[in-house]
């Protein structure tokens, strides 16, 4: 086994760290507190060509794999940008995977080059208030009327909807009760987010406030047939194609968050003196941080295995889910311990670990909860009965 990054991967890591490092903790604190999208950061990465890291070369991208994308997003998060920075570009870097694989040539030609340049913001419209993780129960409906569909329904937790021109939208074209199988009758579109037909309402939330999360109320949105991704009724299968890579990328972001928190805690442990000695001398401080280092390093190995399997066309459901589970826990624990290391000052915004804590907590919920990962491993790996 070779645990070394290749030359391209090391170049990506170094260049991304350098670029992301130009945006300091104060920048992210200000953006988060003002609920302001990090436009300067996003534009810098777009101008550097990083948004097209997984987009095929024929559409202006670099055509790299999920391993390279995970390195990019890990370094973004580790810079202190956290989930605010990663979420600003996550959808551009990989969210278009269903379109790349299943979209028509015409649809790809008019959207992917704009994704690469950063000109086109897209949000991902799947989750609904009444469906949650049970995607087959979505009720947003697209009715075919000649050369277009008319869509009505409601979506929730849609990141970047305020900034987005288009939405990758999962709908039903056959009602759940009329479908032969519960996964049939779901259709995917990449279409304009017409504000006259879509009411977007931001959701007040605990953290990651530089990138909005929103409710969408859709009433009579007209969608041309040309905006359909693949065949009608096959949308659920198209969405499934991207689940394992998405888990890997969220794992990478959680890993980066943990690295940022640990770095901040170590610096404070060396600098802060109490009773005439640096607090990092105390095993009550040192041991938890050392334990977090070990857990982050172990989680990284599982992540690297998962992305290698995916990029080499091998089954990786077990590894991708495990990587997400381990990285999310390790990243959050590191953020929690960083906050504890700072004591009362950790609860302030001055040292930024409170922001790390809030953002790291998100990775244990999204895009899938830790409990649902355990459901998957219990049923599909251990062979235990389905528990839900």
For residue range 291-336, list pLDDT tens digits in order. Answer: 999 999 999 999 999 999 999 999 999 999 999 999 999 999 999 9
> Range of 231's domain?
122-235
281 lies in the same domain as 305: yes
Domain termination residue (choose one: 98, 117, 136): 117
Query: What pLDDT, on a 0 to 100 scale, did the predictor assign at position 134?
Result: 87
Alpha-carbon distance of 306 to 329, in angstroms, equals: 17
Q: State whether 249 and 338 are in the same domain.
A: yes
**pTM metric for this prediction:** 0.96
Q: Residue 160's pLDDT is what?
A: 96
Confidence of residue 104 (pLDDT cuts 50, 70, 90): very high
**pLDDT of 146 higher than 90:** yes
Assess if residue 266 is contained within a domain: yes
CA 146 to chain centre: 36
Contact between 200 and 162 (Cβ < 8 Å): yes
Quick check: is 140 in a domain? yes
Q: Which of 183, 203, 235 is the last residue of a domain?
A: 235
Per-residue pLDDT at 253: 98
Domain-embedded: residue 386 = no
Residue 352 maps to a domain: yes
Please check whether residue 231 lies inside any domain of the structure: yes
pLDDT of res. 2: 84
Q: Is residue 1 part of a domain?
A: no
Q: Does the structure show a pLDDT above 80 at 1?
A: no
Q: How confident is the model at residue 89 (pLDDT cuts 50, 70, 90)?
A: very high
Same domain, 231 and 258: no
- Domain match, 141 and 160 both: yes
Residue 132 scores a pLDDT above 90: no
Identify the domain boundary among 95, 117, 139.
117
CATH number of the domain that 13 lies in? 1.10.540.10
- What's the pLDDT band for 388 if we cut at 50, 70, 90? confident
188 belongs to a structural domain: yes
Question: Is the CB of residue 252 less than 8 Å from the CB of residue 77?
Answer: yes
Give the contacts of 302 (CB within 8 A, at least 6 positions apart).
319, 322, 323, 326, 327
The sign of the torsion formed by the CA atoms of 303, 309, 313, 314 equals negative
Q: What torsion, rounded to 10 degrees, do the Cα atoms 96, 99, 105, 107 define?
A: -80
Three-state SS at 142: strand
pLDDT at 196 (0 to 100):
98
pLDDT digits (tens, 9 = 90+) for 232-267: 999 999 998 889 999 999 999 999 999 999 999 999
Domain identity same for 39 and 131: no
User: Does a structural domain hold residue 2?
Assistant: no
340 and 293 in one domain?
yes
Asked if 246 and 94 touch (Cβ cutoff 8 Å), the reply is yes
Q: Are residues 136 and 154 in the same domain?
A: yes
Q: Say whether both 15 and 143 belong to one domain.
A: no
The stretch 356-364 carries a mean pLDDT of: 98
Compute the average pLDDT of residues 122-128: 95
Q: Look up the CATH number of the domain holding residue 270.
A: 1.20.140.10
Instruction: Please indicate, yes or no, whether residues 263 and 313 belong to a single structural domain of this protein.
Output: yes
Instruction: Mark whether 370 and 298 lie in a shared domain.
Output: yes
Pair 224, 290 in one domain? no
Q: In the prediction, which pLDDT does 288 show? A: 98
Check: CB of residue 222 under 8 Å from CB of residue 189: no
* pLDDT for 382: 98
- CATH number of the domain to which 188 belongs: 2.40.110.10
Query: pLDDT > 70: what percent of the chain?
Result: 100
Residues 51 and 86 in one domain: yes
The pLDDT confidence band at residue 133, using thresholds 50, 70 and 90, is confident
Share of the chain above pLDDT 90, in %: 96
Domain count, the chain: 3
């Amino acid at each position: 086994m070779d645990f070394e990054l290749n030359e391209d991967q090391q170049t990506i890591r170094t260049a991304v760290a350098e670029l992301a490092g130009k945006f300091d903790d104060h920048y992210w604190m200000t953006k988060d507190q003002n609920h302001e999208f990090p436009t300067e950061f996003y534009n810098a990465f777009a101008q550097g060509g990083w948004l097209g890291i997984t987009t095929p070369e024929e559409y202006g991208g670099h055509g790299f794999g999920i391993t390279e994308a995970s390195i990019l997003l890990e370094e973004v998060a580790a810079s202190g940008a956290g989930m605010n920075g990663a979420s600003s570009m996550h959808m551009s870097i990989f969210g278009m995977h269903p379109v790349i694989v299943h979209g028509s040539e015409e649809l790809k030609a008019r959207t992917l080059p704009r994704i690469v340049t950063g000109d086109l913001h897209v949000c991902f419209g799947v989750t609904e208030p009444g469906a949650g993780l049970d995607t087959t129960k979505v009720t947003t409906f697209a009715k075919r009327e000649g050369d277009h569909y008319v869509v009505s329904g409601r979506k929730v937790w849609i990141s970047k909807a305020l900034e987005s021109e288009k939405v990758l939208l999962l709908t039903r074209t056959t009602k759940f009760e009329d479908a032969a199988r519960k996964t049939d009758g779901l259709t995917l579109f990449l279409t304009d987010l017409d504000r006259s037909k879509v009411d977007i309402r931001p959701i007040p939330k605990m953290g990651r406030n530089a990138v909005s999360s929103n409710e969408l109320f859709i009433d009579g949105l007209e969608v041309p047939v040309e905006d359909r991704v693949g065949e009608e009724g096959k949308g659920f299968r198209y969405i499934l194609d991207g689940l394992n890579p998405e888990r890997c990328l969220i794992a990478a972001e959680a890993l980066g968050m943990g690295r940022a928190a640990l770095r901040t805690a170590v610096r404070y442990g060396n600098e802060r003196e109490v009773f005439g000695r640096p607090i990092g001398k105390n095993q009550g401080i040192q041991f938890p941080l050392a334990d977090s280092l070990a857990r982050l390093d172990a989680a990284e190995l599982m992540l690297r295995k998962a992305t290698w399997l995916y990029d080499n066309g091998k089954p990786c459901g077990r590894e991708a889910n495990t990587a997400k589970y381990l990285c999310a826990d390790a990243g959050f624990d590191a953020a929690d311990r960083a906050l504890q290391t700072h004591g009362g000052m950790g609860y302030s915004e001055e040292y930024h670990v409170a922001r790390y804590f809030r953002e790291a907590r998100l990775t244990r919920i999204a895009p899938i909860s830790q409990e649902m990962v355990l459901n998957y491993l219990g049923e599909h790996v251990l062979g235990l009965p389905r528990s839900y």
